[in-house]
Chain A
């Protein structure tokens, strides 16, 4: 059980790192948000699950579950709010973007 938990945690930390790498490497705000939202969500889920099922002095798997649920619920909301704010603040898409329906609409 401890080994399985540690492997889950390892996978989660790799995803967290890839998410951070995406935030660093992607060309504009919206693409960075894509990497920053998705990879870190699953990364955190795996990381926390791994710790939750591994060795802990008392059972706190429920608390970790609530934390995971909370992150699933709030992460897309905050990135959506940020994307909308960025677009309204006039931050355009990167060069080489295909189209921007919202731009012509506004």
Chain B
């Protein structure tokens, strides 16, 4: 029962990836695309932890943590770039 619900949740998160992906492709301005990217990375972090649970490899949680760190730095760098160029 619980496993089924976990699987359904993963599929809903995948649907969220597709939804945000549409904005990533369509977004009229750069800022729109960066927001979509930010949302995508957060969903991806959740999905990585989900995979860690499913495959029983705790080490993947560390991967998710590093990914969250890097995406934060990336978004802030993008914001800086938007503001005045690199």
Q: Using a CB–CB distance below 8 Å, which chain A residues touch chain B?
A: 2-3, 5-7, 9-10, 12-14, 16-17, 19-21, 23-24, 29, 32-33, 36, 40-41, 43-44, 47-48, 50-51, 54-58, 60, 63-64, 66-67, 70-71, 74-75, 77-79, 81-82, 84-86, 88-89, 91
Contact = CB atoms under 8 A, between A and B. Distances in A.
Nearest to A67: B65
Interface residues of B, number: 51
Chain B facing A: main interface SS: helix
Contacts of A71: 42, 45, 68
A43 B34 CA distance: 19
A78 B41 CA distance: 12
Q: Determine chain A's interface SS by DSSP, over half rule.
A: helix
Interface string B1-12: 111011011101
A16 B83 contact: no
Given A60-B58, A89-B82, A20 B9 contact: no
Of A6, A14, A20, A66, the most chain B CB neighbours within 10 A belong to A20
B31 to A, nearest CB: 4
A85 B12 CA distance: 31
Contact of B16 (A7, A19, A70): A19
